[in-house]
Amino acid sequence: MYKARLVAKGFHQQLGMDYNETFSPVVKLITIRILLTLTITFQWPLEQLDINNAFLNGLLNEKVYMQQPTCFQHSDKTLVCKLHKAIYGLKQAPKQWFEKLKGTLFSLGFTTSKCDNSLFIHFSSTYKLYVLVYVDDIIVTRSSQSHVQQLISSLNSAFALKQLGKLDYFLGIEVKHLQDGSLHLNQSKYVKDLLERAHMHLAKSAATPMASNCKLTKHGGQSFEDPTLYKSIVGALQYATITRPDIAFSVNKVCQFLSQPLQDHWTTVKRILRYLQCTNTYGIHLKPAPTLVPLFITTFCDVDWATDTDDQKSISGACLFLGPNPITWWSKKQNTISRSSTEVEYRSLALATQELSWVESLLTELQLPYKTPLVLCDNLNTIAMAHNHVLHNRTKHVELDLFFVRDKIQTKTLHVKHIPSEFRTIDVLTKHLSTNKFLSLRRQLKVQEASVASMGYIRDLG
């Protein structure tokens, strides 16, 4: 049995004539992790919905004409079809579907989050409802079961949908519900498919994603014979970092050579794949946060100063925790060259503070209490600059970052404290590490195997 679908040749469309806006927002990954933390903390169930043929529900604002489809032609070959609703293939189809869904949710009393346009919120004096939208995949969480069923019935009357039950697979992420109420997020199926595509599923395993003495450069060495393969595999590795902060640094490193990959770069990519081959069931372990106190937000930030051998730029990394759970992390090269470690550390601190401000705004919008956020940094000079009200000539070029962080410290909406170097959790996001150090920091980032997370529950019972 075969299924056929009529698809428009959207590549023939012309901007300003038969389409205008095409952007359709999707929910941020950090929003998903925050909502998952809240659901397990307050023991809210997670429901998943899927809309059938979602793009066919969108209404068109432009006049769009289409040639008669094959095998469905009128006797008059000069006639064309005028589309009233979107079909697959049209450039504006995703946007029009989102507008249709948004209008339906608005009519049911929902509002859009100001922090994330794909998060819809409905509050009353007795219950809360949250809807996360990623194209046609929808997650619903709530404090009231009866109101969720009403929502699903209302959506089902507007669209043809499938109720998939408890959330267990979303955007290639497997969601395992453990006995202690925690969640384990992994991408084992995605990683397995990636390994097979790269012909690395039978490769010898590696204990770490990158050797501690690995030094990559743009110059010297033999060019890699298949740049397209390199770009394809490295692009796929970027998506794997959604649940694997332990490979964020190494993936960021190999991403810097997409334009002209060398054989050494491909060897490093294979090392990452060999590491994933033996840890493909690993992922983020999310635990419930304490409910008797406001939520606490902790951020670790660090920089490896001027370590890039090609341009002497620095690598900055950070990880934000909501309660016991990491909700976002990054490892990236800074855009500018800095003449001191204090300067690069302060830029990293400002970037982490900016992300913290967004998280605070979202939690405020969700009407959830939280403690004053804490940023941990290992550079004493950076912390002194953050608390010192005097500006110096040597800091003029970072004054915007200075004022941004200092203002939050002065208004007591941010705490910045020192953390000794031996307790830096995010060294794994900024530098090459020995095997023992890497494995220790990986545990601190809550990257575990599902069976190990379950073992922790059994030990707690004991």
pLDDT tens for residues 162-212? 999 899 999 999 999 999 999 999 999 999 999 999 999 999 999 999 998
Band the pLDDT of 392: cuts 50, 70, 90: low
Residue 182: closest CA among 284, 281, 279, 282? 284
Q: Domain spanning 291-444: which superfamily?
A: Ribonuclease H-like superfamily/Ribonuclease H (3.30.420.10)
3-class DSSP state of 1: coil
Band the pLDDT of 424: cuts 50, 70, 90: confident
Tell me which of 49-63, 215-229, 447-461 is least confident. Answer: 447-461
Mean pLDDT of the chain: 89
Residue 348: closest CA among 310, 405, 403, 431? 405
- pLDDT (0 to 100) of residue 462: 37
Residue 451: closest CA among 188, 228, 256, 251? 188
Q: What's the rounded Cα separation, in Å, for the pair 203 and 277?
A: 8
Give me the architecture of the 10-169 domain, per CATH: 2-Layer Sandwich (3.30)
Q: What's the rounded Cα separation, in Å, for the pair 447 and 246?
A: 7
| pLDDT higher at 398 or 262 | 262
pLDDT tens for residues 88-118? 999 999 999 999 999 999 999 999 999 999 9
- In the chain, where the domains are located: 10-169, 185-282+456-461, 291-444
pLDDT at 423 over 80: no
Please state the pTM of the whole predicted model.
0.90
Other beta carbons within 10 angstroms of residue 59's beta carbon come to 12
374-377 and 297-304 strand pairing: parallel
Percentage of the chain exceeding pLDDT 70: 94
In the sheet that holds 415-418, the strands lie side by side as 325-333, 315-322, 297-304, 374-377, 415-418
Section 377-400 average pLDDT = 68
Section 337-348 average pLDDT = 80
Burial call 142-165: b when 16+ CB within 10 Å, e when fewer: bbeeebbeebbeebeebbebeebe
DSSP secondary structure, 35-78, as one string: HHHHHHHTT--EEEEEETTGGGGPEEEEEEEEPPPTT---S-TT
Band the pLDDT of 325: cuts 50, 70, 90: very high
Residues 6+ apart with CB under 8 A from 253: 210, 216, 268
pLDDT tens for residues 252-274? 999 999 999 999 999 999 999 99
- pLDDT (0 to 100) of residue 45: 86
DSSP secondary structure, 205-224, as one string: P-SSSS-TT----SSSSPBP
Residue 283: closest CA among 423, 170, 202, 134? 170
Angle between helices 341-365 and 29-41 (to 10 degrees): 60
Q: What's the rounded Cα separation, in Å, for the pair 67 and 436?
A: 64
- pLDDT (0 to 100) of residue 461: 36
